[in-house]
Structure 1
């Protein structure tokens, strides 16, 4: 597919959002994205948002990537989560030789998914051999390729080290047909992500299908996007997903308030001053969170484009903004859910799934409270 102009990503996402909303119940029931949704995402180039332009991708600035995910999340959080996960995984293309990246991303659906860092791969002639199982592979049910982040050991089993003494970790890539997927994702929220486990047995990985992830000197592509790294891009993307869920939930509560007359109440919700105040405060909280996240992302991006450096200060700022935004989004969803009263508990209404999805997002690594500790430590160290 031809490159998708980054400014078109948001419009394309908005255009297919009604289709995704119609499929949301089936996505929840199947516990994975439906074929019609995957086809729409692929045909509109949304999985290619962060793929290098040299490979036909959009190589989009963070702002446009985040806005794209917001629009999809308003329709269905599971779809947005998978799209965010697989889009960020595609950034590994910037560390592969061009022919290898072409083979992975420009054949079939060209979708890559991976799970958490775990296990070892043994160096052998021409590549690596690995037997292992990995978990938390969101989007794996749509993927044509899988990846894994593994510690490398030599042929004698001795762990290989980097120059600074840390363990050598590589990302290995292999066709999904080389792995066995395990249907384990029975979760309270984000049920449709199919965040399953997968394993391989004595699999040989040629050297060219491995890369150092988030290591600037290993980059083949020199665009500023790839200096950010996948960790911070995941944070920005998933924070944007939380904003989309919060926006949709609050909008549903506002729509309900215009027409509902609460049981035993003297007046309709639209005439209730307590509801007026709750909507005003919650709207302010959501707008503030969104403004903070985007201001942080855009300031980081301006500095990065100007200097070519993604600094520790940038990383801390992104982590703080993303963590706080997810937590604020959860508060917005809670307020909207509470505002809806008993209406919110029925599956036929637009509240309970978003409530569950939002609290599943808030349990992920991008929302850990320890991020505040990390940033606080950086702030105090700087003040010395």
Structure 2
């Protein structure tokens, strides 16, 4: 009997979580994933969660991918963030010819990372030439390949256009050895992600190492997973990371409340009615956020598998659910942090780093308030109805 897509990913993530938790301090100190953690992620196939099955990947459904990231995030947010980033980057294989994708992802370590959309590549015979620097390449310190999303210009520097008049944007791929990496990631949270900058100088990129990422008509792989595109996968994945961080932080607060006597208080925290009520409400808030995110992902996936179409309504529904989940997770972490009192400020306790990590997550593009505005604008314009966003 053949295995179901993604079978065992969540169980494997849960099995290596204790190792990651033990390495978390070192990851924070060195600002990179430790060799032991990277090896465990590779050996258990977690980086290959969204890689096509034709290349030996799991091609897992979104909900499996999300659960995998949740388990890792409970142990360490930086590890989960890098894993989510590089797993989604691997989806580009669905837009590449098989031999090219095989060479990238089946040559150890087979990890790809990339940063934000920026700069131009000039079309030349057989490919493109580019001189540019990009930022926000989470996971680049473990990667063997890097990518970048660039606007294409012709030999005269004139921007190339798609048939609909929009700018032509391609994703270009190149070995990490062809780039210069800049250690710039001195951040308040997610310190271990190594979200560095990287640059190339007059680098030639052959045509076969480029792709029209997230363009359904350019797909070479079958199956519904790649129709959702990398943007939606990032949203679901990073929202799941936020849930894992929130779960771990609230669990730490619960454990603390069971045994701590607050300064000047007569009884234990666990006997304080205010603390009891706060724990109950916060538990409900976290469970509601998780249920909303997973219900949205499930409905999107169900419809996509039946119809074969990924609609604008699905995209809006996922974006709204992911944004709200990240914000709600941040509120849960804030509540747990404040509940812990002075205990929370010490690095030796399980609150301070998670507080910083969560607020670094909440500053990322997936958590922008403008996503609410986009959905609200579409609803008010009549192009989107509340029912399009799922049951509510």
| Same fold? TM cut 0.5 | yes
Match of 2:36 in 1: 36
1:195-214 correspondence runs (5 A):
195-214=195-214
Question: Could you tell me how far 1:206 is from its partner in structure 2?
Answer: 0.4
Q: Does 1:289 align with 2:313?
A: no
Counterpart mapping for 1:1-384 below 5 A: 5-382=5-382
- Contact 2:189–2:358 at 8 Å: present in 1 too? yes
Helix, strand or coil: the match of 2:133? strand
1:156-209: CA deviation from partner (whole Å, max 9, x where unpaired): 111100011111000000000000000000000000000000000010000000
Q: CA deviation at 1:7?
A: 2.4
Structure 1 Cα separation of the partners of residues 231 and 124 of structure 2: 29
Structure 1 regions of 5+ residues with no counterpart?
Answer: none
CA contact (8 A) 1:189 1:356 kept: yes
- Distance in 1 (CA, whole Å) between partners of 2:7 and 2:245 is 22
Deviations 1:61-97 (A, max 9, x none): 0000000000000000000000000000000000000
RMSD: 1.2
1:276-316 residue CA offsets vs partner (Å, 9 max, x unmatched): 00000000000000000000000000000000111000000
- The alpha-carbon deviation at position 4 of structure 1 amounts to 8.8
SS at match of 1:136: strand
The two structures have a TM-score, normalised by structure 2, of 0.96
Secondary structure, aligned partner of 2:71: helix
8 Å contact kept, 1:4–1:45: no
Contact 1:69–1:244 (Cα < 8 Å) also in 2: yes
Residues 4, 56 of structure 1: 8 Å contact kept: no
C-alpha distance in 1 between matches for 2:293 and 2:108: 35
1:211–1:383 CA distance, 2 compared to 1 (3 A): closer
Indicate if the aligned counterparts of 1:149 and 1:169 stay in contact, CA closer than 8 A: yes
In 1: Cα distance, 2:5 partner to 2:380 partner: 42
SS in 1 for 2:134: strand
CA contact (8 A) 2:5 2:61 kept: no
Q: Which runs of 4+ in 1 moved over 2 A?
A: 2-5, 381-384
Task: Provide the rounded CA distance (Å) in 2 between the counterparts of 1:125 and 1:380.
Answer: 48
Partners of 1:3 and 1:295 in 2: CA distance: 24
Which shows bigger deviation, 5-14 or 22-31?
Answer: 5-14
